[in-house]
Amino acid sequence: MNYPHPIIAREGWPFLGGAVALALLVTFGGGGLAWSIPFWLVALFVLQFFRDPAREVPGDARSVLSPADGRIVVIEPAQDPWLKRETLKISVFMNLFNAHSNRSPIDCEVMGRWYHPGKFINADLDKASTENERNALHLRTPDGQDITCVQVAGLIARRILCYVEPGVKLVRGQRYGFIRFGSRVDLYLPKDVRVKVAVGQKVRATTTILAELP
């Protein structure tokens, strides 16, 4: 989970190895280069999907960093379904061409974790937050502020991976999970945060500051 880590996510090694092996088999097994081009394109797609570059961490302890690469699709007041409180919700939608490593938005301790099975509708839709498969983490900053960070599966995503449990301490930008093949991450923040992004804006995990805590 900590840096340094491979620039290709370990979750993708079996997929990448299989794709490259199949492309090599077609190339040198009698198919020739022309027949192998589609297989090399698949291998290239797998390579870009599972990229997991190291990122510089900006701001300070009050900065809430993006937990994922993608596009902002929601900024609105919302009821946190996990901690039963009024919050500001910011959602990041991840398409097939975004890096899918999930990283901690704040310095925190994991206070709770909840997993709920569900549907696999388009993660770009608002109802994905309440109907899709999802994994939620209750994160608490050293000064006692609470954030809920929710991994939500998407239309194609079929595997949410989370590597932390209650009691684990995370630092901003630290890798904690992965979602395969399209998804979103919802953040439920204190109502009085100062938002630094806008709906439709493209963001990058760790390097984009979404909001500032009071």
Positions annotated as catalytic residues are 183
CB atoms under 10 Å from CB of 162, counted, come to 18
Cis peptide leading into residue 4 (ω within 30°): yes
142: nearest Cα among 213, 68, 202, 36: 213
Query: What is the H or E stretch that residue 65 is in?
Result: strand 63-65
Q: Are 197 and 73 in contact (CB under 8 A)?
A: no
Phi-psi sector, 205: left (phi>0), alpha (psi -120 to 50), beta:
beta
- Alpha carbons 189 and 74: distance in angstroms, whole number: 13
- Alpha carbons 125 and 16: distance in angstroms, whole number: 30
- Alpha carbons 96 and 30: distance in angstroms, whole number: 32
Residues with Cβ within 8 Å of residue 38, at least 6 apart in sequence: none
Query: What is the H or E stretch that residue 15 is in?
Result: helix 13-26
Terminus-to-terminus CA distance in the chain, angstroms? 28
